[in-house]
Amino acid sequence: MHTGCTVNRVEKHAADFTSHLSNGSSIASDQVMFAIGRHPNVANLGLEKAGVAINPSNGGIAVDSFSRTSVPHIYAIGDVTHRLNLTPVAIREGQAFADTVFGNRPVEVDHADTPTAVFCQPEVGTVGLTETQARAQFSHVDIYKSTFRPMKATLSGRDTRMLMKLIVDATSDRVLGCHIVGDGAAEIVQVLGIAVKMKATKADFDATMALHPTAAEELVTMRTPTARHVRQAAE
């Protein structure tokens, strides 16, 4: 995993490829997948004729918290709104739409604290706020971080490491975010999403018994902050 750089060019050599990066390095591989992002597929739908507005900030169909467009009887859900382009999010939005319109039970979808993952090597799982986001929103933020080699890796001889990171509001003790890099990160973060959504505190994590030997036990055994951030009040 290389951070802080982009792909300048890709060269093909017979059946192989060489990717040249902006930091001066290069990577040889059998295949190259270049994910450059996507845009909402809203063209040629006749939205202008129907009076459906486009959100100028993201290019998706503009909707309110109930997924209702600028035309009251037209709703839009999923990637076309360009909110969170994830399959489970679209499913949840569809369920809320059905409850609201056909179930006579208005439901708003809360997109906060949505667990996400990148299924790369190493795997990345995250839920809640990042350290940067938390420091921007809260005056006192504690960071708990641990990097280690899981016991299963030491027994097998694999050179595998894990990163666990908790973001905590030092004022209320609430866990604002959790970030994991390593084997099983997505599976762990899915369950942690429940705790973060329920506004669990660091004390709740500390009171949970550790399951040994697991990598996830680090989440309930970290006691000392690795960093403490206090935002200075504006004068």
Contacts by residues 81-85 (CB-CB < 8 Å, ≥ 24 positions apart): 81/40, 81/55, 82/39, 82/40, 82/55, 82/58, 83/58, 83/111, 84/111, 84/114, 85/38
Annotation marks residue 212 as catalytic: yes
Phi, psi of 148 (to 5 degrees): -160, 170
Give me 55's structure tokens.
């959100």
Give, rounded to a whole angstrom, the gap between the first and last alpha carbons of the chain: 42
* C-alpha to C-alpha distance for 62 and 178, rounded to whole angstroms: 30
* C-alpha to C-alpha distance for 122 and 134, rounded to whole angstroms: 25
Could you say which of 82, 111, 179, 212 is catalytic? 212
Largest CA distance in the chain: 65
- Catalytic residue numbers read 212
